Amino acid sequence: MVSELFSVRGRVALVTGGTSGIGYMIAKGLVEHGAKTYIVGRNPDTCSAIATELSAFGQCLPLAGDLSSMPGVEAVASALGERESMLHILVNNAGAMYDAPLGEFTEQGWDDVVDLNLKSVFFLTQSLLPLLRAGATADYPSAVVNIGSMGGTRVGPKENYSYQAAKAGLHHLTGSLGKRLGGENITVNAIAPGFFPSRLTQIPDEQLPAILQLVPRRRLGKEDDIVGSVIHLASRAGSFITGAVIPLDGGMTL
Ligand SMILES: NC(=O)c1ccc[n+]([C@@H]2O[C@H](COP(=O)([O-])OP(=O)(O)OC[C@H]3O[C@@H](n4cnc5c(N)ncnc54)[C@H](OP(=O)(O)O)[C@@H]3O)[C@@H](O)[C@H]2O)c1
């Protein structure tokens, strides 16, 4: 049955950056479709408040932590390990952006973005492998879904050097991990979003018409778009897809 093929009911999920923007949309979708979903964000109060809000739709739990450093990554992984014996869906979504003219680009603006958008994804996935392996079967693999960006596929107009490099690296890392972990019944894929409304994008109203002219679908991304893609990859329906980078940009990178 199609509904069973695309089901995530009863699965355990972790969404980093689930307190805002795209991560919030993903967490809400997973909760609504029956996954027990943990969300990570830096602020414990915000994390708890959002988890309470999303619990109106199902099971959502806060797991506050800062993924920008190795101790933070390890703390999140061990906190999940204390609560769960297996993890079926890991969505590496937390991300930051920095842009500055080439001559003024700072080391901090490089490190902050690359550490969170690329390094933390690798080490959080590594730390959670025992839980991902515990939940994986040949028929129903565990799924890692990395949120990349169209900025990692095509060079955009912004001078966000560390962001574009980190996202391009994340897309390639997705292939490396997918190749390594496929035999262990763990799929690893990336979704490369175009413009979705969020704190990170903040498109001024007057610029919206010009931006939409660049998008063949003539709209921004919305919750159903990202939830549909994540559920496809995380459910049994996606079990033969691994190492893929799926554009979710309304055709903007064509
Ligand atoms: N929106 C778009 O158009 C777009 C397009 C392409 C790709 N993306 C990607 O989508 C992902 C989500 O972006 P967004 O637009 O939804 O941004 P957002 O609204 O700013 O959300 C970022 C999320 O990451 C969390 N976060 C930030 N730093 C963190 C840290 N050090 N440790 C743990 N969590 C942290 C934030 O929570 P706290 O602030 O509470 O920590 C928040 O939940 C990013 O990877 C971004 O690159 C977005």
Res. 148 pLDDT band, cuts 50 70 90: very high
Q: What is the pLDDT of residues 83-124, one digit of tens each?
A: 999 999 999 999 999 999 999 999 999 999 999 999 999 999
- Encode burial over 83-120: b for 16+ CB neighbours within 10 A, e otherwise: ebeebbbbbbbbbbbbeeeeeebeeebbebbbbbbbbb
Domain annotation covers residue 216: yes
State yes or no: pLDDT of 201 exceeds 90: no
User: Please, are residues 25 and 40 in contact by the beta-carbon 8 Å criterion?
Assistant: no
The arithmetic mean of pLDDT across residues 184-204, rounded, is: 94
Domain annotation covers residue 164: yes
Provide the residue type at 250 as one letter. G
Domain annotation covers residue 241: yes
Domain annotation covers residue 253: no
Pick the atom of ligand 1 nearest to 19's CA: 43
The arithmetic mean of pLDDT across residues 2-22, rounded, is: 96
CATH number of the domain encompassing residue 10: 3.40.50.720
Number of compact structural domains in the chain: 1
Nearest CA to ligand 1 atom 17: 200
The arithmetic mean of pLDDT across residues 34-46, rounded, is: 98
Domain annotation covers residue 254: no
State yes or no: pLDDT of 202 exceeds 90: no
What pLDDT, on a 0 to 100 scale, did the predictor assign at position 2? 73
pLDDT more than 90, % of the chain? 95
Nearest CA to ligand 1 atom 47: 95
Based on the residue annotation, tell me whether 38 is a catalytic residue of this protein.
Answer: no
Check 24, 38, 98, 163 and give the catalytic one: 163
The verdict on the CB of residue 154 being under 6 Å from ligand 1 is: no
State yes or no: pLDDT of 60 exceeds 90: yes
pLDDT more than 70, % of the chain? 100
Pick the atom of ligand 1 nearest to 117's CA: 45
Alpha carbon of 170 to ligand 1 centroid (Å): 15
Look-up of token digits 């902050």: 112
The arithmetic mean of pLDDT across residues 179-187, rounded, is: 98
- Spatial neighbors of 67 by CB under 8 A, at least 6 apart, are 16, 40, 73, 76, 94, 116, 120, 124
Res. 184 pLDDT band, cuts 50 70 90: very high
Domain annotation covers residue 147: yes
Which domain covers residue 133, as residue numbers?
A: 2-248
Q: Whole-prediction pTM value?
A: 0.98
State yes or no: pLDDT of 203 exceeds 90: no
Domain annotation covers residue 121: yes
The verdict on the CB of residue 67 being under 6 Å from ligand 1 is: yes
Alpha carbon of 112 to ligand 1 centroid (Å): 13
